[in-house]
Structure 1
Amino acid sequence: MADSQVKIKRNFPCKPKIWLTTEHLITLSTVAVIFISWYAATEWKLFSEVIIPPPGKVYKTFIDILSEGYKGAALSTHLFDSIERLLAAFVFVCLTAVPAGLLSGYNSKIRAVLEPLVGFYRPLPPLAYYTMLVIWMGIGNSSKIMLLYLAGFAPVYLACISGVMKIKRDYISGAYTLGANKYQVFVYVVLPACLPDLFTGLRTALGFSYTTLVAAEMVAAETGIGWMVLDASKFLLSDVIFVGIFIMGITGIMLDVLLKFMENKIIPWKGKE
């Protein structure tokens, strides 16, 4: 009897996994409403095509740019150059802002050195110091990458400090009681506890850097999605502007999804304390 009960339990079909949740349906409905409203506004000619181009015209422009490129460069070239600048700056942010933020949160003397510098430049608009970067570093990619780097440094730095400051002192004291040294406490206690805040800072920094990309490609750029949008705006090519905005938005979502995937893999305990 017991064996038959076990067999029945094993053969009982599993609950099917639901791929589309209520939240997914709400999101899809919101996107659908936006596109329907866009189509209706242009179909009824509520706005000039220079202000809001029809969806069909934007799609046709996208196909034309995809097949013929824009201003002598393929769409993949524009996209690759922008992503290359963005990721180069993001890698430098990870290599510098993360250790600087963790050490600043862990050591008040280091924080006293770095915090005033970050606090001074963080509220400044990117264009306020971009001209100085161009004078110092030239009109090539170096000044553009540095601008994106500065845009992303502060969010990661502050998020790391916040993560360290939220750690319960009992955890650190307990590690010292068990015989851990400062290095072991930092690596095995401080760093894992800060990972949720760290990834929040990384996602915020990626968004800030991407919003600064258009400003970074204003000076002496010949390729890039941001440059394409700026160049099209000079000639009131709103369909090209919409194509560039959609491409930037979609790639931004994809990069954020990639970061969230890494976050779920590295810190699966987040939100389950």
Structure 2
Amino acid sequence: MKKMKRKEHFRVYTYATWGTIFLVWFLVTEFGLVSSRLIPSPEQVIYSFIEIMQNGYNGIPLWSHVGISLYRLFIASSLAFITAVPLGLMSGYFKRFRAVIDSVVQFYRPLPPLAYYTFLILWLGIDESSKITLLYLAAFAPIYLACVSAVSTIDENYLLSAESLGASKKDIFFTVVLPASMPEVFTGLRTAIGIAYTTLVSAEMVAATSGVGWMVIDASRYLKSDIMFIGIIIMGITGVLLDWGLRKLETKLVFWKGKQ
């Protein structure tokens, strides 16, 4: 009961923060302190949003822009999760395996996406393959590193106890290493989706005609700040919803997190 009251207490601060942000936004635009080309008014953003909902942007419905962006993000993040988790856990558990994989990941991880996106377009074409590959590479590294870190923080007494009971390396991996690593794996997945979402704008900058990221870039060329605000708000809200869904999924699947 106390825990629920505490959560409600903290929510008041969250609501107050966002209320303050919207109030400042309204006052700044209402009194003309900043040009509407730089910061559109809330009314202007709402009006443009209703217009896009009715007529679409560039002849494409708004839900199609959101849908194609989420499709690219979902496919890339799913592929990254499927490949990075086993590679990361094995790299953390088997040092020889880590010696092969880790240096490659550490090499490309700090590179800006646009630095190699041109090569991806040359190799894979301008269709969805190059965009999904770019998002995949952005999402892969955080999940991989989280898995490696998770294995290294496992209490060695658990591994030694399992060994003393006659468990094989394979048994230890699946019954001790994997369950103990899952909380950090989910943290890595949440981070990866956030990074992939920020990379989405880069992926939709070149040779794209749809997507929320492309909509923001296209609007910026014509100084349509209201459209840019709409795209940014949509990306922010969908990002929060995705993170909320992952946290809910984590509490269901990793129910032992935080328990001794």
Q: What TM-score results when the alignment is normalised by the length of structure 1?
A: 0.93
Give the structure 2 partner of residue 77 of structure 1. Answer: 64
Aligned counterpart in structure 2 of residue 225 of structure 1, from 191, 204, 212: 212
How much has 1:108 moved relative to structure 2? 0.5
Give the structure 2 partner of residue 6 of structure 1. Answer: none
| 1:200 has 2:187 as partner | yes
| 1:89 has 2:80 as partner | no
Give the structure 2 partner of residue 165 of structure 1. Answer: 152
SS at match of 1:180: coil
How much has 1:97 moved relative to structure 2? 0.4
Q: Select between 171-180 and 156-165 the one with higher mean Cα deviation.
A: 171-180
Query: How far apart, in 2, do the equivalents of 1:252 and 1:19 lie?
Result: 25
Change (3 A) 1:15 1:160: closer
Give the structure 1 partner of residue 28 of structure 2. Answer: 41
Give the structure 2 partner of residue 61 of structure 1. Answer: 48
| 1:121 has 2:116 as partner | no
Q: C-alpha offsets along residues 3-59 of structure 1, whole Å, 9 cap, x if unaligned?
A: xxxxxxxxxxx9996596111010000000000000000001000000000000001
How much has 1:177 moved relative to structure 2? 1.4
Give the structure 2 partner of residue 189 of structure 1. Answer: 176
SS at match of 1:21: helix
Query: How far apart, in 1, do the equivalents of 2:165 and 2:245 lie?
Result: 38
What code does the residue aligned with 1:71 have? N
Query: How far apart, in 2, do the equivalents of 1:176 and 1:102 lie?
Result: 18
Gaps of 5+ in 2: none
Change (3 A) 1:24 1:17: closer
Query: How far apart, in 1, do the equivalents of 2:184 and 2:138 lie?
Result: 18
What code does the residue aligned with 2:91 have? S
Higher Rg: 1
What code does the residue aligned with 2:77 have? F
Question: CA RMSD of the aligned region, Å?
Answer: 1.5
Query: How far apart, in 1, do the equivalents of 2:122 and 2:167 lie?
Result: 49
Query: How far apart, in 2, do the equivalents of 1:184 and 1:142 lie?
Result: 37
How much has 1:271 moved relative to structure 2? 2.5
Q: C-alpha offsets along residues 204-255 of structure 1, whole Å, 9 cap, x if unaligned?
A: 0000000000000011111100000000000000000000000000000000
How much has 1:182 moved relative to structure 2? 1.5
Change (3 A) 1:207 1:15: closer
What code does the residue aligned with 1:51 have? L
